[in-house]
Structure 1
Amino acid sequence: MARMHTRRRGSSGSDKPAADEPPEWSDVDADAVEERVVELAEEGYDPSQIGMKLRDEGVQGTPVPDVKLATDKKVTEILEENDASPELPEDFRNLLEKAIRLREHVEENGQDHQNRRALQNTESKIRRLADYYRGDELDEDFTYSYAVAVELLEE
């Protein structure tokens, strides 16, 4: 797959190994995993961070290599069921934070044309992602601006 804002091809990455069931050494109860996911979300962790914490620390000392294999649900599905899901999707929130940081940098350093272009590209990605999430995760009349981004992240 090609990169969005360059003329280069994307780099190939490793694929997850195909597995139908969790490994034998990770025999953690699905309910315990779900409880730990909700607990970590209440502590303020994002879904991707929750997956890494479960992989590294585990539940009751036993690592959980894949939440979906252990519970038959994704981390975001578990959070939605328990009303612990974040207001904004994680990828959208990360792009908003990046755009705010870039905007503040460009205002202080007006001569930095490379980061000015990075800001334009990031805002373009935000608009594309807003089209994807509009109606479900975002309001129907959502339009991106710097002020709206700052307001959304302050909540």
Structure 2
Amino acid sequence: MARMHTRRRGSSGSDKPAADEPPEWSDVDEDAIEERVVELAEEGHDPSVIGMKLRDEGVKGTPIPDIKLATGKKVTEILEENGADGDLPTDLRNLMERAIRLREHMAENPQDHQNKRALQNTEAKIRRLADYYRGDELDEDFTYSYEMAAELLEE
């Protein structure tokens, strides 16, 4: 499969080792893991960062190599159950942050044509994702604009 905005192909990544149950050395209670996930989300961390923090720091000093194996739920499912998920999907939020950074860069460097193209590509991705999420996770009348994105992410 080719990449979205170039004709090149992507490189394959590595797979996680197959495992059916968490390792014996990581015997933390499911409730403690869920509490820590919600706590990290309230501090403002994204689900991917929460997973890395639990892998590195763990709960009460014991690392959690795989949250789904330990709890039977993904990080996003835990956040949804506890009402700690954000108002925007993570991928859309990250693209909006990138578009804002690119727009600010373009204001300072108007002759940077390469980043002008990157901004166009990023905003096109945002519009496609907004079409995908519209109605379910976004309002029916949601339309992307720089001003709206800056206001949403400022909160």
TM class, shorter-length? over 0.9
The letter of the residue matching 1:33 is I
Percent sequence identity is 85
- Per-residue deviation, residues 71-114 of structure 1 (Å, max 9, x unmatched): 00011111111111111111111100100010111122111000
CA distance in 1 between counterparts of 2:143 and 2:24 reads: 48
Q: In the alignment, does 2:39 pair up with 1:70?
A: no
Corresponding residue of 1:41: 41
Corresponding residue of 1:103: 103
Corresponding residue of 2:10: 10
Corresponding residue of 2:58: 58
Corresponding residue of 1:151: 151
- Per-residue deviation, residues 32-76 of structure 1 (Å, max 9, x unmatched): 100100111111111111000000000111100111110000111
What is the aligned residue count? 155
Structure 1 residue matching 2:76: 3-state secondary structure: helix
TM-score for the superposition, normalised by structure 2: 0.96
Structure 2 residue matching 1:73: 3-state secondary structure: coil
Structure 2 residue matching 1:121: 3-state secondary structure: helix
Q: CA deviation at 1:24?
A: 1.6
Corresponding residue of 2:126: 126
Q: CA deviation at 1:147?
A: 1.1
Corresponding residue of 2:22: 22
Corresponding residue of 2:136: 136
Structure 2 residue matching 1:15: 3-state secondary structure: coil
CA distance in 1 between counterparts of 2:51 and 2:89 reads: 15
CA distance in 2 between counterparts of 1:5 and 1:119 reads: 12
Structure 2 residue matching 1:78: 3-state secondary structure: helix
The letter of the residue matching 2:42 is E
Q: CA deviation at 1:13?
A: 0.5
Corresponding residue of 2:32: 32
